[in-house]
């Protein structure tokens, strides 16, 4: 899969029968932040049933009433409890975890998440 990171967080990938881990990809400045600067492309090799989780900084930077951040380690811990779940349920579980963590603290940033699972949709003859 061809990728580029234009200012977002490190994506998390789970290879089949593995655990989610961050991909320390090549960061570029945010898209269109500076004229003429283009994201640095890279490739990820995906196998059948691999999963990718991408998210905005609102997830790890969510703050609770004690002004503690949710963080990527907590996010990975939650992701790694979702093995065998549908991607929809995985996203719901991470979202519920962030909301539970922040409690009554005001959300100051957007929270956007996208989950992708590499599947085979047809049988070869």
Alpha helix locations (H) across 22-86?
71-79
Mean pLDDT of the region 67-84: 95
d(CA 67, CA 63): 5
pLDDT in tens, 13-69: 998 778 999 988 777 777 777 788 777 888 888 889 999 999 999 999 999 999 999
Look at the pTM and tell me if it is higher than 0.75. yes
Whose tokens are 């977002």? That residue is 8
- Show me where the domains of the chain are located: 2-117
Using alpha carbons, select from 120, 114, 119, 8 the residue that is nearest to residue 52.
Answer: 114
| Mean pLDDT for the chain overall | 88
Pull the structure tokens for residue 71.
């963080």
CATH architecture of structural domain 2-117: 4-Layer Sandwich (3.60)
């Amino acid at each position: 899969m061809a990728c580029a990171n234009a200012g977002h967080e490190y994506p998390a990938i789970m290879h089949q029968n593995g655990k989610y881990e961050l991909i320390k990809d090549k960061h570029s400045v945010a898209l269109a932040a500076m004229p003429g600067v283009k994201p640095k492309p890279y490739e990820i090799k995906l196998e059948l049933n691999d999963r990718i989780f991408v998210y905005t900084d609102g997830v790890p930077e969510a703050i609770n009433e004690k002004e503690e951040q949710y963080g990527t380690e907590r996010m990975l811990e939650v992701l790694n409890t979702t093995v065998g779940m549908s991607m929809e349920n995985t996203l719901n579980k991470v979202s519920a975890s962030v909301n539970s963590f922040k409690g009554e603290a005001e959300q100051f940033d957007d929270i956007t998440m996208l989950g992708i699972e590499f599947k085979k949709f047809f049988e070869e003859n």
